[in-house]
Amino acid sequence: MDKAIIHPRDLIAGLQKGLALMQLFSADLPRLSVPQAAKLSGLTPSAARRFLLTLVHEEFAETDGRLYWLTPKALRIGQAYVDSAQLPRMLRPIVEQVARTTQEHVSVGTRDGDEIVHVVRSRYSHIASLSIRPGSRVPMYCTASGRIWLAALDETELDGYFQRNPPRQLTPYTLTDVAALKAELRQVASQGFSVVDQEFEIGMRVLGVPLTDRRGRLKATLAITTHASRLTVEEMRFRYLAPLYEAQALLKPVLD
């Protein structure tokens, strides 16, 4: 579906600011003070304090008088997507079919800003990684799903991405040279799939393919994750590209 065009006069600025403030909380910043929240959000300290107190009043946050943190109630916002969105429900049967065929973990990712969000994962899994649970967010430059999305960008968009997200060495195998990454992305675009070998997590190999609609627009990615000890990269391609391509074809009409 194309993005709707919404006039600024129809937007509620307070809701925008409140949602943006909630998204400041992360694994790196699980608790925020008013000055921290103000600095990160661009709000004045008094406005940030009122927004945070509103979240406390609505039980989406708690405070000890100095720091603020989210409560489990905040999960309702993300769970509402899982419960109501059509995309995960439509994709799940095919995801489970691929998992049964391959006996591997299968997931679907989509782009949210400069990150990949996993929206579906197979019930079958021998993988314990938290990075592939539904709702988890991962970088684009060092993941199979992310590279598929990056490979679809034009040069200007790609340069903008790397300016915002300088590659970091997450494992000894992470590719961080931008020129080398761009060469890898050209290869991904040419061959129609992406393989990442332990670049995001040690011991994890991932093979992913794009999921497009009938007009060729990229909608999501379908990926298989396995332990490096189970299969080589070459064996992954040999065994699992066929079931991924079959699922890709089956899902094309669904994604329109």
Q: Please check whether residue 232 is in contact with residue 195, taking contact to mean a CB–CB distance below 8 angstroms.
A: no
CATH code assigned at 53: 1.10.10.10
Structural domain for 209, as ranges: 85-251
Place of tokens 């065009």: 5
Smallest CA-to-CA distance from 204 within 96, 100, 105, 98 is with 105
> 128 and 221, same structural domain?
yes
Last residue of one domain, picked from the residues 37, 53, 73:
73
pTM score of the predicted model: 0.74
What distance in Å separates the CA atoms of residue 32 and residue 165, rounded to the nearest whole number? 23
| Separation of CA 219 from chain center | 13
Instruction: Report yes or no: 22 and 55 within 8 Å, Cβ to Cβ.
Output: yes
Q: What digits encode the pLDDT tens for the residues 74-109?
A: 877 776 666 656 677 788 899 999 999 999 999 999
In the chain, how many domains are there?
2
pLDDT digit string (tens) for 232-249? Answer: 999 999 999 999 999 999
**Residue 191 in contact with residue 244, Cβ under 8 Å?**
no
Q: How remote is the C-alpha of 199 from its chain's centroid?
A: 16
pLDDT tens digits, 23-54: 888 878 899 999 999 999 999 999 999 999 99
Domain annotation covers residue 200:
yes
